[in-house]
Amino acid sequence: MAFTASPYMNNDGVVSIVATLTDGATALFTGQGAELTRVADTEPTGPFSAVLPAAPRIDGAGTLWFRGTLRSGESGYFAVDQGLPRIFYITGGQFSTFPASPGKQVNGDSAGFRATLSDEVEGVFFGDGHRTETVATVGPTYTRFLGVESNDAGTLAITAELVTGGQAIVVADGGPRTFVTFADTRGVYTALGGGGRISINNRGTIVFGADLSTPAPANASGIFRGPDASVDKVIAIGDALFDSIVAGFPTNFMNPRGLNNEDQIVFRADLADGSTVLVRADPDCPSPN
Q: What is the pTM of this model?
A: 0.90
Q: Give the DSSP H or E segment for 42.
A: none
Q: pLDDT digits over 29-56, tens only?
A: 998 888 889 999 999 999 999 999 888 8
Helix (H, G, I), strand (E, B) or coil at 194: helix
CA–CA–CA angle 7, 168, 287 (5° rounding): 55
Taking the C-alpha atoms of residue 127 and residue 111, their distance in angstroms, rounded to an integer, is 6
Helix (H, G, I), strand (E, B) or coil at 19: strand
Q: pLDDT digits over 124-166, tens only?
A: 999 999 999 999 999 999 999 999 999 999 999 999 999 999 9
Whether the CB-CB separation of 123 and 117 falls below 8 Å is answered with yes
Taking the C-alpha atoms of residue 45 and residue 52, their distance in angstroms, rounded to an integer, is 19
pLDDT band for position 9 (cuts 50, 70, 90):
confident
Give 168's contacts (C-beta < 8 A, 6+ positions apart): 159, 160, 162, 181, 182, 183, 184, 185, 192
Provide the residue ranges of all domains of the chain, joining segments of one domain with +.
1-90, 187-289
